[in-house]
Amino acid sequence: MKRFLILASALLALSLGVAGQTPKYNGKTLGVLGGLGPAASADFMRLLVVKAPATVDQEHPRVILLSQPQTPNRNDFIFGFGEDPEPALRSGLELLTDWGADILCVTCNTAHYYIDHFRDSLRRPLIHIIDETVRSARERSPEGAWLTATLGTIKAGIFQDNAARSGYSFVVPDEETKNDVQEVINTVKAGRYEEAGALMRAVCLKLWSVRNIPIVAACTEIPIAYGYTGLPAEGCISSLEALADACIRELYD
């Protein structure tokens, strides 16, 4: 995994700049709404460091992280129970803007179901994790990919609809496997990473026995679990990495 990230960072750095030149941090401030859950936003911050084309502290971007784990459950409300998380998501992004963010992102896929309701009214541009993950999947696996996500994300259809607009398609697992994926996510949120990795490994092997295409980790807890599976890094298209790559592109000229 470490070697894969180093290689991916090198390729990103090359794509950002002119041959022979190192991309320069452009001074923009990134506002990150995280805590959805905390492990995912912490891993996102790590990815920003790994992927930044920086050699000293001062070449890394200015980032404001608002970790807001008290945001109501994004998955539950889609199924008609619990508190609506949309007001908390909106207020968090507005607070980041007030704090000086020039661009915004949110380290939760399901949250974008709600964010899409008010995205156009935000005062700063939002780097959209769904857009970026679909883009990454199309580039890496034009023939399609498995969609693994929260039950709410799949029910809402935000990935399927986004992909369809560009002529791409995801393969959605059967009901039993979708529930197994949700258990993986819940296990990561509970801090049991090795257990989550074992569960995710079983999910991946089951899906690959049906069709050998990459698995899109369309929940930001899933890449954490995948890191504990022992499976090849290229088997997973991480929404968290797709978001980090897009942020780096926006922060460096």
pLDDT of residue 5: 46
Catalytic residue among 108, 204, 236, 247: 108
| H-only helix segments in the chain | 2-16, 38-51, 74-78, 86-98, 111-115, 129-140, 151-156, 158-165, 175-189, 193-210, 222-226, 239-251
Q: Let me know if 204 is a catalytic residue.
A: no
Q: Where are the domains of the chain?
A: 2-128+241-251, 131-238
Which residue in the block uniquely carries the two structure tokens 């390729």? 11
Does the annotation mark 247 as catalytic?
A: no
pLDDT value at 3 more than 60: no
Residue 121 confidence (pLDDT) above 70: yes
pLDDT-derived band at 21, boundaries 50, 70, 90: confident
Give the tokens for residue 227. 């890191």
Cα separation values, 161 from 141, 155, 180, 194, Å = 18, 11, 23, 33
What is the model's pLDDT at position 12?
53
pLDDT by residue (tens digit) across 122-173?
999 999 999 999 999 999 999 999 999 999 999 999 999 999 999 999 999 9
Distances (CA, A) of 229 to 55, 171, 204: 31, 21, 9
Q: Which two tokens stand for residue 117?
A: 């309701």
Query: DSSP character for 252?
Result: B
Q: Is the pTM of this model over 0.85?
A: yes
Which CATH class for the 2-128+241-251 domain?
alpha beta
pLDDT value at 18 more than 50: no
pLDDT at residue 9 is higher than 60: no
Asked which of 2-16, 69-83, 153-167 is least confident by mean pLDDT, the reply is 2-16
**Residue 7 has what pLDDT?**
45
Q: pLDDT averaged over the chain? A: 94
Query: How do beta strands 145-148 and 170-171 pair?
Result: parallel
In CATH terms, the fold of domain 131-238 is Rossmann fold (3.40.50)
pLDDT grade for 1, boundaries at 50, 70 and 90: very low
Mean pLDDT (whole number) for 200-219: 98
Do 131-238 and 2-128+241-251 have the same topology in CATH? yes
3-class secondary structure, 66:
strand
